[in-house]
């Protein structure tokens, strides 16, 4: 353990207080390190393979995602590594995203610059831009890549994200061709394996498309996730109770940058961050 660079807390007082109140994170760094060491040593490498990363910062994100509850954090860490085994073809693309360039350029999924007043990151998802013939695993790989980039931020780990999902022009053929087992596996990525804090899902232009999607995914969704879904149709102003208008593009009532500009900025950020992801000590 002596050759591992230990985590040193550099959180602002406000963010540290939030982590303590909402995530049960110890303010004392020695206690934080003890929790990290316990989680790392509890991981069964014989069953799940070697840790993708073993540095403190990587382990810490799983503790934060599960409010420093050891057993839940360990389960999430194990699921994350099982995901790497079950979806090898996806993670090859996550680490070498050249094949994802067309999805990146499409603007189907991007992160708004800035956060809400509570520090929450806002993701804009526009599946209507997807080609119905798109490889669903390319899409999943890009989503995971985006989340991995976000997880490099401690503010994101602590404050989480809300998603605005615009279903206008979405073609259901992309989803309905998947088997129930594939749907279950995809849903488990976000609920059970990725160390993220999911705040709210704001759905726009839902109509009958959402009814079909909800019917497909509901059997695999946790109740706490279902309760965080908000359907707005074209009542865009309802979003602004949770999300600042300057984070939302003009075409859905916001005052933020146009989607093309926002997506280009996000893609530039991904390229800047890629050299750091997976480069930590293994």
**What's the confidence (pLDDT) of residue 56?**
98
The CATH number assigned to the domain holding 234 equals 3.40.525.10
pLDDT-derived band at 277 (thresholds 50, 70, 90) equals low
Tell me, yes or no, whether 280 lies in a domain. Answer: no
pLDDT-derived band at 220 (thresholds 50, 70, 90) equals confident
122 and 223 assigned to the same domain: yes
Q: What backbone phi and psi angles, to 5 degrees, belong to 232?
A: -120, -15
Gap between the Cα atoms of 16 and 23, Å rounded? 10
Calculate the CA 6 to chain-centre distance: 25
Q: What is the pLDDT of residues 234-249, one digit of tens each?
A: 999 999 999 999 999 9
| Domain boundary residue, one of 86, 114, 138 | 86
Q: What is the pLDDT of residues 182-206, one digit of tens each?
A: 777 777 888 899 999 999 999 999 9
Q: Are 29 and 8 in contact (CB under 8 A)?
A: yes
Tell me, yes or no, whether 165 lies in a domain. Answer: yes
- The strand pairing partners of 110, in sequence order, are 124
**What's the confidence (pLDDT) of residue 279?**
47
**What's the confidence (pLDDT) of residue 275?**
57
Tell me, yes or no, whether 6 lies in a domain. Answer: no
| Domain boundary residue, one of 86, 108, 133 | 86
Q: What is the pLDDT of residues 20-73, one digit of tens each?
A: 999 999 999 999 999 999 999 999 999 999 999 999 999 999 999 999 999 999
* 3-class secondary structure, 187: helix
In the chain, the N- to C-terminal Cα span, in Å, equals 13
Q: What backbone phi and psi angles, to 5 degrees, belong to 111?
A: -110, 130
- Domain span at 197: 89-274
Work out the widest C-alpha separation in the chain, in whole angstroms: 57
| pTM for this predicted structure | 0.92
Tell me, yes or no, whether 279 lies in a domain. Answer: no
70 and 185 assigned to the same domain: no
**What's the confidence (pLDDT) of residue 276?**
57
**What's the confidence (pLDDT) of residue 2?**
46
80 and 48 assigned to the same domain: yes
Q: Is the pLDDT of residue 280 over 50?
A: no
Calculate the CA 59 to chain-centre distance: 16
Q: What is the pLDDT of residues 154-163, one digit of tens each?
A: 999 999 999 9
50 and 36 assigned to the same domain: yes
Joined tokens for residue 29: 């760094």
| Domain boundary residue, one of 65, 86, 107 | 86
Query: What is the chain's mean pLDDT, rounded?
Result: 91
65 and 193 assigned to the same domain: no
The CATH number assigned to the domain holding 48 equals 1.10.8
76 and 190 assigned to the same domain: no
Count: domains in the chain: 2
């Amino acid at each position: 353990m002596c050759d591992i660079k230990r985590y040193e807390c550099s959180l602002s007082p406000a963010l540290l207080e939030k982590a303590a109140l909402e995530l049960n994170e110890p303010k004392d760094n020695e206690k934080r390190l003890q929790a990290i060491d316990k989680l790392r040593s509890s991981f069964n490498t014989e069953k799940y393979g070697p840790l993708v990363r073993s540095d403190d910062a990587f382990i810490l994100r799983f503790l934060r995602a599960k409010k420093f509850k050891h057993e839940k954090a360990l389960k999430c860490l194990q699921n994350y590594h099982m995901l790497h085994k079950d979806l090898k073809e996806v993670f090859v693309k996550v680490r070498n995203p050249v094949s994802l360039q067309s999805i990146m350029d499409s603007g189907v999924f991007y992160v708004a610059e800035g956060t809400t007043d509570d520090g929450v990151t806002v993701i804009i998802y526009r599946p209507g831009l997807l080609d119905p013939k798109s490889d669903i695993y390319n899409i999943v790989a890009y989503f995971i890549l985006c989340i991995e980039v976000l997880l490099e931020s401690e503010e994101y780990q602590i404050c989480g994200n809300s998603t605005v999902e615009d279903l206008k022009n979405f073609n259901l053929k992309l989803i309905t061709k998947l088997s129930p087992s594939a749907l279950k596996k995809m849903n488990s990525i976000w609920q059970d394996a990725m160390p993220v804090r999911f705040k709210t899902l704001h759905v726009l232009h839902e109509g009958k498309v959402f009814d079909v999607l909800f019917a497909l995914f509901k059997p695999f969704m946790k109740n706490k996730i279902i309760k965080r879904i908000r359907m707005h149709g074209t009542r865009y102003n309802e979003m602004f109770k949770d999300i600042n208008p300057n984070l939302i593009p003009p075409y859905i009532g916001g005052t933020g940058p146009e989607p093309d500009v926002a997506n280009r900025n996000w893609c530039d950020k991904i390229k800047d961050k890629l050299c750091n992801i997976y480069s930590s000590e293994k």
